[in-house]
Amino acid sequence: MKRLPRIEQYGLIGDMQTSAHVCDDGSIDWLCLPRFDSPAVFAGLLGTQKHGTWQIRPASPAGRSGSGAVAERRYCGDSLVLESVWRTPTGSVRVLDFMPPRDEAPQVVRIVEGLAGEVPMVSAMRPRPGYGSVSPWIHEVGGRMVAEAGADALWLDTCVQQVEKDGVIVSAFTVAAGQSAAFVLSWCPSHAAAPEIPDPEAALAETLTFWQGWMQECTYDGPYREPVVRSLIALKAMTYGPSGGVVAAPTTSLPEEIGGGRNWDYRFTWLRDASTTLAALLGTGYRQEAQAWRRWLLRAVAGDPENLQIMYGITGERDLRERELPWLPGYEESTPVRVGNGAADQLQLDVYGEVIETLYLAHQSGVAHCADTAVLHRRLIEHLVERWQEPDEGIWEIRGVRRHFVHSKVMAWVAIDRTIRLVEAGALDMNLDSLVELRETIHREVCTQGFDPVRNTFTQSYGSTELDAATLLIPRVGFLPPDDPRVIGTVDAVRRELATPDGLVRRYPTVGDHAGVDGLKGDEGTFILCSFWLVDALALTGRLDEAHTLFERLLALRNDLGLLAEEYDPVQQRQLGNFPQAFSHMGLIQSARLLHQLSTRSSPHRGAACVPAPGSQKRRPRQTCKDLTSQHA
């Protein structure tokens, strides 16, 4: 049985409708078809090989399963085409893994190319639909192998011989220098006609062209371009193209603590995550994504903003009921494995601030307020006016007693503040006097009830002593100026009580075997986004050198492909949580932009002013994959 790799050993490929996780041993261990939130057909990531995998690798000399990882791997230029190279005693070989952006049936394309000598290879695909619970009917149709189960049909096309053995489609072949063999897995409904036989070389050229064209829109040209570009591509890969919705992550139940129960399904569109992701995209030149997301928002919320959910399905579904999959043993025995997410029914008042902040940033970036958006905006504010004084579950989606979370109140202030700015700009028609009065009321209450004057820090909630890393956002959103002593005291308190010596930040205190403020037992790793928030807070409060040092340390946590999970365990030095995580990559982009701005300007900028005006940064010529474009493009 294959040893389960660490989370950071995986790379991501995708087509803006779903994605696959490719391990550095050539195995695809996670693939949901046809959408991000569909049941997985390969679920080995949350179990074993018997729950579904597809491995292409060099065969060992004795013909047994090899265990060696690739010698090197990378993405081809600014794309999501993954290149893996193996070197063996008889030669070297390259495998290109990608998913062509598509309008119809999803495909996974794997092209094996001989680089030197001759290398015996093996492809072993074990499809297991239904999150690894179903053994499909595998048979040959017209020289093509197909695996059918219920509503799903998986067609595997290749130029080499295929045989079925014990539920596995196996191909053994040899590739010499200059030769290639392609494998294409296509999904379609089982009742539909077979998909067309694909052209893998044309698909490769089209995929490279798509990504190179998309990256031409990037306006960021700062000193951290490589990690910013890689993060932008990861965020784009987590966007569901047909609707404009953005998933928080393309996986479920990767644990926040190895062996623990903090395992959640992130394959949905959180208003908060999507809003902050779109803010990062807007700040780097991508307005089309903002327009698509706004249309998604209008459809999802529909005519019912009074019953605003904090998250929806990727096409606006409201029913996201949570359930457990007992047949999956979980990643490194971290159970339960969950699909769906019960947090959809929570009250999280901060989402009003994130949504309205994004609408404001879109306006600042040249995306005009439309009449429908204005109606939604007014109704959201009307509802927030009625509910902002209620306790809620907050940004971290606690499963304990509701509280008056400071961050929630601050983001309610942001919602009112950005609305005032739009009214003053003539983009929105609302009563300005009442909004200004409410903004002052919220500000006064937070500073009175959410601040501990003895320790000189904002706390997690009214009357509590616990700290919360989310209070690091207070200067970033402009609630208080960065040089306010209360801001500096909060930053110092978070560093002292929630950060490791290396500056990695936990969200809030947990208490192991006892249920903490979040109502859950167990602990978790440091939260990568919170660590980027500390970078921002240090930079804004004038400690730019310390901010750069911490930022470089966080960049070193990325895997060899530039990808970040949700959390990091500084003791075991490994990534934790769902992977890759939109929050983490959004934080990287925003911190890189802020550091660049503060390093090149004479004074720090507050709140939304941190976003440069459209066109204020030079466009960078597109980059190509030199090794491939000459052969395939």
pTM: 0.91
Cβ atoms of 36 and 247 within 8 Å: the answer is: yes
Q: How confident is the model at residue 604 (pLDDT cuts 50, 70, 90)?
A: very low
DSSP assignments along 572-608, one per residue: TTEEESSSS-HHHHHHHHHHHHHHHHHHHSSS---GG
- Per-residue pLDDT tens over the stretch 74-113: 999 999 999 999 999 999 999 999 999 987 789 999 999 9
C-alpha–C-alpha distance, residues 371 and 171, integer Å = 57
- Per-residue pLDDT tens over the stretch 487-533: 999 999 999 999 999 999 999 888 666 666 777 777 889 999 999 99
Mean pLDDT of the chain: 90
Flag the least confident range among 28-37, 91-100, 128-137, 624-633: 624-633
Q: How confident is the model at residue 608 (pLDDT cuts 50, 70, 90)?
A: very low
| pLDDT score of 116 | 96
- Longest pairwise C-alpha distance within the chain: 80
- Of the candidates 33, 409, 333, which has an alpha carbon nearest to the alpha carbon of residue 188? 33
Cβ atoms of 267 and 279 within 8 Å: the answer is: no
- Per-residue pLDDT tens over the stretch 553-594: 999 999 999 999 999 999 999 999 999 999 999 999 999 999
Q: 372 versus 223: which is more confidently predicted?
A: 223
Within 10 angstroms of residue 151's Cβ, the number of other Cβ atoms is: 11
Handedness of CA 255, 261, 262, 266 (dihedral sign): positive
CA-CA distances (angstroms) from residue 174 to 48, 65, 272?
Answer: 27, 15, 49
| pLDDT score of 554 | 98
- Per-residue pLDDT tens over the stretch 210-239: 999 999 999 999 999 999 999 999 999 999
- Per-residue pLDDT tens over the stretch 125-150: 999 999 999 999 999 998 899 999 99
| pLDDT score of 445 | 98
Omega before residue 580 within 30° of 0, cis = yes
| pLDDT score of 453 | 96
- Of the candidates 438, 398, 400, which has an alpha carbon nearest to the alpha carbon of residue 418? 438
